[in-house]
Amino acid sequence: MTLYRNAGPGMGGGILPDEFGALVERPVAEQSLAYLTSTVVQTSRSRYHIPIVTEDAQAAWTAEGADIAQDEPSLAEIIVTPMKLAALTAVTNEMRDDSDPASLDLVGRGLARDLVKKVDAAFFGNTVTNGPSGLQSVAGVGVVNDGESSPGPVTVANSDPFAQAIAQAEQVGAVVSAWAAHPDDALALAQLKEATGSNRGLLQPDPTQSGRRLIEGVGLYVSPAVAKGTIWGIPQAFVHVVQRDGATLETDTSFYFGSDRTALRAIMRIGFGFPHPAAIQKLSVEFA
């Protein structure tokens, strides 16, 4: 649901409510790595409950004709509270009244770019003042490092660290569905070769999506929001982005009355849920 309100006089015939909502929400959904690599949940409630099975119901070999022993799973839950992310900008009243799609796209991109940055910074970060806590805050994630008693980064020369991360996720019933890396680390990976003397790169193109590359068959996503030296193995089934309703979009023609501009305010409420921390893989890496 996208809400649209006009706090001042009419908006004119240019920007329609459904069009403007899509201009903000669609780029966030299409460009944010948090959205692209996670299970996205839409809710109308202030809190979203994610159930967790801490222990499965137990089966037992049973003699024919004997009563089947009853057992029940142990259940828990985590609660995700979507937090408010807001942006404020202004457009000239000439642009506001212009129905040309290029003008509308310009408005949407201006708001969406910073929303995307803030969402991904929170998702790949630690704790955020007035915002949701991200991957860095999650205790108990799977770790890939050099394995020493005082662990440091593993030197990446081939895909073995990624194979280890995939195996660690499989051991806890999860599947790594995406890698996320800083652009500098992605470049270093792209420069690695499959074997000594080979010109074939370690990264291979994804035949299903133009421009995306694969490591161990899993797609690599790139964002400056990811800390350099850390690569995340994300299991989509166990990482949630919870969005409350849609973007609330409001306009006010009086806020910038003296400069003949209209104020545009976008608000999204977003939270993150990590119900199975051990399924998430964190690779501490360096390159020779």
Across the range 201-221, mean pLDDT stands at: 90
Residue 12's pLDDT is what?
A: 39
pLDDT level of residue 4 (50, 70, 90 thresholds): very low
Determine, yes or no, domain membership for 19.
yes
Determine, yes or no, domain membership for 280.
yes
What is the count of structural domains for the chain?
1
Across the range 166-193, mean pLDDT stands at: 96
Range of the domain at 270: 3-53+76-286
Determine, yes or no, domain membership for 165.
yes
Determine, yes or no, domain membership for 251.
yes
Residue 205 reports pLDDT greater than 70: yes
Residue 232 reports pLDDT greater than 90: yes
Q: Which of the 8 DSSP states describes residue 287?
A: -
Interatomic CA distance for residues 262 and 257, integer angstroms: 8
Residue 129 reports pLDDT greater than 80: yes
Across the range 191-217, mean pLDDT stands at: 86
User: Phi first, then psi: what are they for 158, rounded to 5°?
Assistant: -155, -165
Determine, yes or no, domain membership for 62.
no
Determine, yes or no, domain membership for 269.
yes
Q: Which of the 8 DSSP states describes residue 135?
A: G
Q: Which has the closest alpha carbon to 142: 273, 240, 282, 237?
A: 282
Determine, yes or no, domain membership for 66.
no
Cα distance from N-terminal residue to C-terminal residue, the chain? 49
**Better-scored residue on pLDDT, 20 or 55:** 55
Residue 262's pLDDT is what?
A: 80
Q: Which CATH number is 32's domain given? A: 3.90.1690
Interatomic CA distance for residues 58 and 73, integer angstroms: 8
C-alpha dihedral over 180, 186, 188, 191, to 10 degrees? 130
Q: How many helices (H) and strands (E) does the chain have?
A: 6, 15
Determine, yes or no, domain membership for 151.
yes
Residue 8's pLDDT is what?
A: 40
Q: What rounded mean pLDDT belongs to the chain?
A: 85
**pTM for the whole structure:** 0.83
Across the range 153-172, mean pLDDT stands at: 95
Residue 256's pLDDT is what?
A: 83
